[in-house]
Chain A
């Protein structure tokens, strides 16, 4: 069974097709990068997947189910584009924020017991952020806040991680460290990853598949396929396609050398 399935999905807002006839499938363990320019429909696409927006036509399936009827939210970890963490007086400690992730799929009245607290502690340890457990989320740096949000998304051991521009507010080294963490989770825990980003280089470096949208689908496949795709050549132009692929080869090789 596929983890994510879009079949001829269209989403219309204010008379404009933000998503136009989008079809693709994501299997378990895939790391898919969703790329496109501003306003190309990337965030709309994942909001449609998560049931936050209702598609105009077509079929969306999340673990084989319509997102509106999906109940097993424990399987999904999500980091939205903008979390309220910029509000530095928000009275939530890092460990309380991570604990919220345990509420996924729980019935009311929800309660967090000692086993849950142990899970929170273990997740903080995994992401190496135990030192900031009692600090208010708003008082942390951008990189630390994103790690806390990732810990919240991971605390329930999800099978799918949906990340909407998680490195947008981070500097280059914090962004790089965050991306490596996601790649390790994908490789070691076989977590399926859907990553929305502006940075096509990051996709080439870490993801195994790329979905390029410009309200309609431009390309979906591996980076290798992208480099020989006539559709991509037509959209980007042969020269730009060559530059993207060359840069990808170079950075991937550099990344492997650094990791070794």
Chain B
């Protein structure tokens, strides 16, 4: 299996996938604990719209997706905070709007083409070096921002009201969190695809939370679960000739089962 490492497409997939898996897993811990984990799913549907838009205007879907998904993530936050709409309802509204918009654009451009399908289900093995560089750079930027805001994020996730009384600008912290999530969803679409992107954010974090560790250790465990899922998922995909996105999610789920079983056995 290690001869696969000599192929350039595997090297690119491992590099981009490894970075993005860690990024998703770290952000996922905060999203899951804030009960905002489905935002990834909602934003991925908006990504569908933005990709259709990009393909319609024959521009790179990435350039269209970043601003469109970022604005949508702020829209979800505004609906929740100012509009007093429940978080899951706000996500549902924006999500269905994204799908509807995407279907309209796709039908105007003559139906679903191959490019759009590759974004729906991911094609990590066909990504280009430019995309790898962008993925690594943006992952590094997002991880740096998470480190910068780490204590603010933990305090606002644990108890938002007390965090405000500590002088923490929780409105800004929430904005940073959803903007980072939107960037992450856009970056992940080429790897696992729009349909499976939320699994990257949710499953590693949910697995780490089974272990009953401290906050810092939970983040590290989540990153490890995400990284192992992507790396082994890519190798399994190569060996078994199955789509990489799906095999990554399956490995991730097996790790969740193991963590869940461990919790039951140890009674933590």
Q: Is B148 an interface residue (CB 8 A)?
A: yes
Q: Is B149 an interface residue (CB 8 A)?
A: yes
Task: Report the nearest B residue to A99, measured CB to CB.
Answer: B151
Task: Report the nearest A residue to B209, measured CB to CB.
Answer: A89
On whether the beta carbons of A92 and B215 are closer than 8 Å, the reply is yes
Task: Report the nearest A residue to B147, measured CB to CB.
Answer: A109
Q: Is A136 an interface residue (CB 8 A)?
A: yes
A100–B154 alpha-carbon span in the complex (Å)? 8
Q: Is B3 an interface residue (CB 8 A)?
A: no
A179–B127 alpha-carbon span in the complex (Å)? 63
Q: Which residues of A contact B209 (CB under 8 A)?
A: 89, 91
A residues 35-87 in Cβ contact with B at 8 Å: 50-52, 71, 73, 76, 78-80, 83-84, 87
Residue from the list B166, B213, B214 in contact with A103, Cβ < 8 A: B166
Minimum C-beta distance from A209 to chain B (A):
22
Q: Is B164 an interface residue (CB 8 A)?
A: yes
Q: Is A110 an interface residue (CB 8 A)?
A: yes
Q: Is A208 an interface residue (CB 8 A)?
A: no
**Contact-residue bracket for chain B:** 20 to 34
On whether the beta carbons of B158 and A78 are closer than 8 Å, the reply is no
A37–B216 alpha-carbon span in the complex (Å)? 42
Q: Which residues of A contact B208 (CB under 8 A)?
A: 91
A112–B154 alpha-carbon span in the complex (Å)? 13
Minimum C-beta distance from B146 to chain A (A):
11
Minimum C-beta distance from B46 to chain A (A):
29
Residue from the list B33, B163, B215 in contact with A96, Cβ < 8 A: B215
On whether the beta carbons of B166 and A91 are closer than 8 Å, the reply is no
A35–B209 alpha-carbon span in the complex (Å)? 40
On whether the beta carbons of B168 and A109 are closer than 8 Å, the reply is no
Q: Which residues of B contact A96 (CB under 8 A)?
A: 154, 214-216
Given contacts A80-B161, A80-B162, A90-B158, contact A136 B167 (CB under 8 A): no
Given contacts A84-B159, A93-B214, A136-B212, contact A103 B165 (CB under 8 A): no
Q: State how many residues of chain A have any CB contact under 8 Å with chain B.
A: 34
Q: Is B155 an interface residue (CB 8 A)?
A: yes
The main secondary structure of chain B at its interface with chain A is helix
A161–B91 alpha-carbon span in the complex (Å)? 38
Q: Which residues of B contact A84 (CB under 8 A)?
A: 158-159
On whether the beta carbons of A83 and B213 are closer than 8 Å, the reply is no
Q: Is B41 an interface residue (CB 8 A)?
A: no
A108–B152 alpha-carbon span in the complex (Å)? 8
Residue from the list B161, B164, B215 in contact with A91, Cβ < 8 A: B215
Q: Which residues of A contact B215 (CB under 8 A)?
A: 91-93, 96
A104–B214 alpha-carbon span in the complex (Å)? 21
Q: Which residues in B have some Cβ–Cβ distance to A below 8 Å? A: 29, 33, 147-152, 154-155, 158-159, 161-168, 208-210, 212-218
In the complex, given contacts A83-B159, A92-B158, A106-B151, what are 10 additional A-B residue pairs having Cβ atoms less than 8 angstroms apart?
A: A52-B164, A83-B158, A91-B217, A91-B218, A93-B214, A96-B214, A100-B162, A103-B163, A109-B147, A139-B212
- Which 7 pairs show the lowest CB-CB distances between chains A and B? A91-B218, A73-B167, A110-B151, A104-B166, A78-B165, A93-B214, A109-B148
- Of the A-B pairs whose beta carbons lie under 8 Å apart in the complex, a sample of 25, sorted by A's number, is A71-B167, A73-B165, A78-B165, A80-B159, A83-B159, A89-B210, A90-B33, A91-B29, A91-B33, A91-B209, A91-B214, A96-B154, A96-B216, A100-B155, A103-B152, A103-B168, A104-B166, A104-B167, A106-B151, A108-B149, A109-B147, A110-B152, A112-B151, A134-B214, A152-B162
